[in-house]
Structure 1
Amino acid sequence: MAAMDNQLVRIYRDIEHWDALTKDAEQDVRRIMRNIMALDEQIAIANGYPDQELLQSYEFAVQMANLGLEREALYNEWVATNGRLKELRSIPRQRLELQEYLEACHSIDLAMPARDILPSRFEVITDEAEIESTIYPQHIVPATDFAAKQMDIWSRLSQGPEICDGAWYTGYLELEWIRAKVDANIVGCPHSLFTFMGDTVDEAVTDILGRIVKDGHLVQSLGIGAFIETVDDEKIVNISRSPLDQGLSTIFSYRKLRGGILRRPVPVLVTCYRPPYRLSLNEILTGLRGSIEVAREIVQSPAVKRFCEMSKVLVVAVITHLFQRMLVVGTRFGYITTGEAYIFLEIGADARLVRYSLCVPRHDVESDPVTGLHRTAVAQVLAFTLRAFRAKRMPPAWYQKAQQELWKWRVDPDDIFNKIPPLVRKMKRNIEYVPGNWSPYLERSPLEQRVQRMILPGLKPRFNEASFNDLGYFGFLTSHRIQPAGEPMDQDDEPSGQDEEPSNQDGESIEPAEILIDYQPFCTPECLWGLERFRALDKACPNFRYHGNKHLRLHELLDGLQEQLDGEAANWTQTNHKFLCRSGLYTTLLKVRLASHGYTLLLKGVIPSKIDHLCREADMYDQLLALQGFFIPVSFGMIETQNEVFSRSFGGFSLFMVFGGFPEGVMPLYQCMAAGIDKQVIVDAAERTFRYIHAERVFHFDPEPRNMLYDARQNRVIVADFERAMYDEVEGQQYLNPILQIEGVHEWTPERKRIPDVCFGQQRDYVRQRIEEFFERGY
């Protein structure tokens, strides 16, 4: 799988491809049946012809023979097409082989909606008086033999036909259900990360373990026989996981006691769940470098407010948090996961020493064409779990002695995190993760050593989608095959000109509501800009003919959209709106059309508990009013419907921000790569856009390529997604200093902060660097 030529496609794209092929096959079956029926009718009419001389003529006999051959050919085509349709319908239900299963699990793992969100108020507050002393290791050193030990497990697994041969694992249809489930899961706290990892990684590991224990030779080779029990003539390994406690969970299994009859629970490993916004990859890469002498470098070192030192303290605090729990429950194995990165820990024979290894599956998989599949999250956790199973067990006295003799440190990871200012955390992104080379450690493996594409035949290649939400704000432009101007992206015919009046088969003019919402073009920025300011109509707008003699008033547009959505929600119809894609943790995008006047734009829906995020974005658009329609979309404010607008895939929403205005022909940046547009041109255009934004004293806070579009006609970059932006002030919950205690209750008070000019300059530098990286890596 590994490099995959920068073309990693998630499993749901395969499902969509099969659905498209199935629909085509169904249409072919119906077409052939209609042709057969028409041919039968033609034959019946010919046989019933009253002219007996014609019936007995040679020409008639030849004609009937040709009709018979034609019917036979159609019948054979119908049989073949029907067989193909049956096969297509069965593909998603087929069980998968190990390699396909790991590929699919990795694709779903990449779908985690991880974003650096603003922390909730209750998650930020910590009381230093309540921080307890924690046992800490004296030495934290890299595990130089980690790759060799992990690959040794896969070498042993290659000896078992039970795992190598046959399709035993969950099929695509069930995996699609899991994908849809985790797509709706907001990873914003340890519990939601625990749920996500359970669905995408832990279940898969348990599934593969269930196949391993059925092979006696494999069990003997791995040395895990003591954990195997027989239930109803079936061998199983009984694994249980403790409830989440302070972000930690322990995996237990049951091991035979001497005599082989009784069993007792044995801790296998401990997992620490740390949400990605509370331990970012940037902080891990900055703080976890080389060996660390904890007492000298961290505990006894004076507090320094620089990012590199604070990152090291944060990472060591999280490791210490996990280290103490490992000693308490009695295991030497554990790992920290953020969903994006994994830090695997092993306590040495001397409890003062902890060995670690950092893995980032989304980068590891693509870095090595030979060992890529062995480095997916599921494969790594599986091998690490098997190592924990077969490791030498230390006696309880060893753990008790370690707890008594090791030094303690009053520390709380959340307290350390709170002391790193958000602006500092966001701007320090200058360390690149470099995956190690595991190829020398690969001897043999049940996984094929080849570059495996996760693209089915006939599916158009796409650029790398490995980055979390890297299609982001403009994902609807491709995933639903709709261009900003409204034409299907894959249609072969040229779109009709704007001056051509839409009509039905009789040549009569049709209303916009009679056009499918998929094919209704979006209104131009100039059109919506004129609507917002009650200016003249834009004759270049593709919906100009429906707007009437003059623009509606803004309140008429908003009231009309609200009433229309309420009506369609009450009747469970979607004639004039369509859910496009999820655009963030709490939000989704809808395409909407005001049927009476043809205005076609976007809605951004938000769940009720996060309405403040959308209000913030609407406020930012107001601050950038002068740039609307030029460098950012046009925003019309917010509406709230009485009835919840519902979709099975995205849920229900009643709060929306109304906006739109994308010039015809704009492209997401990954399409610019495919079109061969010079990256320097886009870099300069993006820097120019952000200069205008910064001139209005607005700090974007998420200037990623996924939030940008390029307009080649006017050489400009359009930026969106301002829900986390700032306007010369920082809310109290983001800064730890302005905390007050009123009547014994902690209260957060807003403190106005002027954003330093240097931050704007640093953000423009980051935008330039990030776009250049995007063009080089594809994500």
Structure 2
Amino acid sequence: MEAELERLRRQLQEEQQRREEAEAEREEAKARAAAEERQRKEEQRQREEAEAKAIAEQQRREEEQQRREKAEAINRRTTLTEFLQACHEIFLSLRITDDETLTTQGDVTKPAGRLYPNQIIPWDTFPTYQSEIWAELSASPAFASNRVFASTHQLDHIRTTMDPIDSEELLRHFARSAVEKPVQNIVDEIFNDGTLREKLGLRGRVSFQSHTNLGQSDATTVDEAMERMSISDTSRGNQRATSARPATSERRGKGGGRADQFCIYRQEDGSSSPAIAIEYKAPHKLTRGAITAGLSGTIVPGRDVINKEGNSVEFFSKWLLAAVVTQCFSYMIDKGVQYGYLFTGDAIVFLHIPNDPVTVHYYVSIPGVDAQKDDEYGVQRTAVAQISAFVLRALAAPPPPQEWQRIARRSLDTWVVEYIDVLKKIPETERKKTRETFSYQPSRWIASSGSRVKTRSQCLPIDDQAGAQRDDDDDDAGDGDGWGHSMAPSPTPQRKTRSQTGQGSSRRRQGEKRSAAGKGTSRAATTAAAKPTTPKPRLEDRPYCTHECLLGLVRGGPLDQHCPNVQFHRKTHIKPDTFLRLVRRQLLTDIGVDADCKPLYVRGSRGALFKVRLSSHGYTLVAKGMEEHNARHLRHESCMYQHASAAQGRAVPVCIGLTDLEIPYFYDGGAYKHMLFLSWAGRPLFKFINQDNKVALLERAKATLGQLHGLGLLHNDAEMRNVLWDERTGGLMWTDLERAEGRARRPLGEICPNRKRNRTACKLISGSNDEFSREMMLLSAHVARSVR
């Protein structure tokens, strides 16, 4: 019994133990399962964290990539189309101040007599000409696709920092940043493209400057006076400060003031010439409404506005625009340029004086309206694109000849007018109408078929162009630049002339009958028309005679066989008097497009330089011209060259002599009646001197100056601008002797009788009190200040 109980007890204990072990196993299994769950959850959490981190890292990388791409896009250089569009965005952001209390104020200026055109007519073919330029640019696909232009970030900086336009001064800054620099960059890149450079015949680059030795530096511009004018200040008297009168010879020689800006063509050979005259007019004064109302058709100033009365907005607008166009037209005639434009910021008026200089063509563009995004040619009608094409066309045109200048001054009258005075006489109610009303319909541009653009070296006679010339209406007759159809070639000795064709105004034809250059067709011209001839080299490309050659002419010596023109000098030199007589006769009639006298676009305080070739004998040299009121200075300079005759060809140029012209040579607003003929001495030393060579060049300059001093000649203007370096010979020469004086100089090294008592006096003779030594010291000081 006890054994049975013991057995049952053990069984119970074992059963209890099994239950406990099973429970323990279940608890352990639960614990393992819980641990496994925790581990799974931890792994899940870790996976989720890793995935989140990976996503965050991916997002960071993507955001960084986006920022980098955005920064690269902002700072990345642009293509031509992107560049033009970004420049256009600047124009669309232009703000104009309308609050009259914030605008410039000033007084009435003294009206200037300006040559005014007989007609101001629409330039209907302007879009065609612009399209032709863009067709030329398509010859180089790389030019349009290369990223070579300023980034959008740079242009956006201009857009966000520009001030509202309330004056000509702010307009000038806006034009410089938003138009002229971009245009300059485009021309630079075209020049860098060999295909386009060759196709367009580009010989250099452009710059925009308010003066480049092309006008009077102390002249007061009209717009400087405009800055002092209040637009709300009106004068409503019936007596106007505008009148017309025939131009006297003196008035025709001097224009009133100068243009605000010029586009300058800077060629690789170092020569520079003005290509375009630019006038800035503040948009709150010359409104878009006034422009479109005033330039809505042909204006004949003498018939429509000068000394006329009217009270309509159309009359006032026409009167105002005739005055503005006349201002720029007069500057263009003075400067001898056929292209110009008026710029207000939100409007451009392109101007062109054709071969017949009594007419001016105009084309009005409102870039904000013209450059429509839905137009495939819209980008070509932005302001920068239009001015770029306009500049390229101006560079491709040959400069107008002297005959063009003579016809203008013979045929045109003057209008005593100032734009600001006209503006002030327009009632405020009428000016307000021009601000509030604006009617403008952009013309439709048609893609060009790819007509070639004529270059300076590629301009054909009109006979060769006739087959390709378009049929224009009467208003556009004669607006080309080929010159062959309206200007006679210069009838100089041993030169064949072409027969004249084409039409001009009756007034001009009458003037040409009086011109010695327009005396009909010679037998030589008929022969030349029948036989093809080798194109005559441009005067600009002809080499100058050597100093030794011209010394031979002056002194009756032998020909210099090293002179590049010796083949044209015949067997022996002519006499100086003969040279002066022949060149005087030549300058009377040699005024055509191929004339052997061209300005060098270099002016001093009184004179201007010209390149002249005596056509009959090939002598090629420089002429220094002066106007009548400065004649005595040129005569004095001629005497000073004679004083230094022993140093001619070594320390100073060779001087052939002085002549008085029968008819003045018109250039840069001046009428040059007297010319002094000199050998070519080179370019100003300051263009070449630097820190590395200044010591050596200064010593050479002092040595040549010392030669003049040794001849008793005191220069009196011994600065670097007047010492020239000749690349042909490597020599230095002094020029500009109009201020020079002859002196009787004591010999250097003079010994005083009493060395002790007169030591101080001796120092004064050879030291700082000696004019010659003082001039040497001033030269050294000038070089030290200028070259650092």
TM-score range, shorter chain: 0.3 to 0.5
- Report which structure shows greater RCO (CA 8 Å, sep ≥6): 1
Q: Report the structure number with the largest CA radius of gyration.
A: 2
Q: TM-score, normalised by structure 2?
A: 0.45
Q: TM-score, normalised by structure 1?
A: 0.45
